[in-house]
Amino acid sequence: MSAPDFPVLQVPGAVVTLPDERALNTTETIDGVTYAGIRKTYAFTAEQDGDFRLPTVTIRFTYAGDDGAPRQGSVTFPPTQIRAGAGGTISAGTGAARPLLPVARLVVTQALDHAPEGDAVRLHAGDALVRTVTTFAPQTQAMMIHSPHAQAPRGVRMFSADPRLSDNAQGAAGPGGTRVDTITYVFERTGTYTLPPVTVDWFDPATRQPAHSEAAAVKVVVTAARDAGALAPGGSAGALPREGGLPWRTLLWGGVAVLVVLAAALLWRRLEPFVARFRRRLAEHRRARAASPDARPGAVLQACQAGDAAAAYRALGTWTLAAHGTAPTAWTAAAGDAQLADAVFALERRLYGAAATTAAPWDGTQLAGALRRHAAPAPAHRHRHLAPALPPLNP
């Protein structure tokens, strides 16, 4: 009636894991009584030789009795002892010895992203070859598989990605762990190369001797780059001396492009403060002009011409507050203009009175005409030049 909570086992000198495989539901008859069970598998890997004792933990669960009522039950692991014999060791780069992995047989396979043509993989200068090495260890955790030994020949750059580990792999010898390593080789020059075999060390418990498995060597033939000119003796046309790669014209234009980019970046760095200052002043000038009392009546007249009553009243309130420091109604009362007061009153009645529900368009001609008399344009002397104080020379 409840899922058992399988505990994590901690054993010094060993690694015990619970694979992600789903639990198996089983039934078994013992002395004529049928029992229902749940089976789960632990994986035990010894990191050193000696005797190991598994902890006797207790699993608690709930099950249904004969009457269907829930009952509490528990199962305790029986005392279990495991003896691991001595295995081989391998010396790391620092000289320290590390234990080898005891397995029945380690299988190493490889795959290439370029299919061989004949006895070799054929590439062009500047191409990359991806070598995927898969290591399978039966009845073993993937984390216990040692990293493979891979080398690159002289003149070839090698890059290794992080390995991918899986404990649920299936092989010819049954389930086990899998380690997948991805190695990328970059060939910058023409020539014939041999990638050395990739080897993985392990310990054979049958012979009690260290062993290793390997993926075969790979032969690679690299020709001139695709964009190079016709081949000439000793290399491609236009190539640098003793170089089989890029033509000198490509290198020259590439250098010129880099210099142009650097010069443009330096020039922009010097001019950026002046450009930013000019943009700020231009934005401030536009905001000041739009907020000036001389510019705001224009917004009221545009709304009147468009027949937009709400926009006209908002623009009128903004202008009277900025230019006269008061609301539209108080300003019209102080102006003493009956036509202006009637136009503003009609606008307010249109927006907030009984006429607000009518669908007829609003006519802003009366308000625009009255407003033009009280919102005269800026004095002309602001835009004309002053008369010279001296008479013209040599009239």
Give residue-wise pLDDT tens across range 153-200.
Answer: 998 999 999 999 988 777 665 678 899 999 999 998 999 999 999 999
pLDDT category at 95 given cuts 50, 70, 90 is very low
In a domain, 208, yes or no: yes
Tokens linked to 351: 């927006």
What is the pairing mode between strands 58-64 and 89-91? Answer: unpaired
- In this structure, the answer to whether residues 126 and 109 fall within a common structural domain is yes
Give pLDDT tens digits for 99-155. 555 566 788 999 999 999 989 999 999 899 999 999 998 877 788 888 899 999 998
Same domain, 109 and 231: yes
- Distance, CA of 148 to chain centre: 30
Sign for the CA dihedral angle at 355, 360, 365, 368 comes to positive
Total domain count, the chain: 4
Tell me how long the chain is. Answer: 395
Tell whether 220 and 111 lie within a shared domain.
yes
Residues 312 and 284 in one domain: no
- Angle 186-200-150 (CA atoms, 0-180°, nearest 5)? 20
For 204-229, how does the pLDDT look when each residue is reduced to its tens digit (9 = 90+)?
A: 766 777 888 899 999 999 999 876 54
Predicted pLDDT of residue 239: 42
What proportions of the chain, in percent to the nearest 5, are helix, strand and coil? Answer: 30, 35, 35
Which CATH number does the domain housing residue 169 bear? 2.60.40.10
- Output the six-digit token pair for 250: 């490509």
Stated pTM of the model: 0.42
Structure tokens belonging to residue 215: 């993926």
Give the domain range for residue 348: 296-377
Dihedral (Cα; 362, 366, 369, 372), 10-degree rounding: -70
| 217: in domain | yes
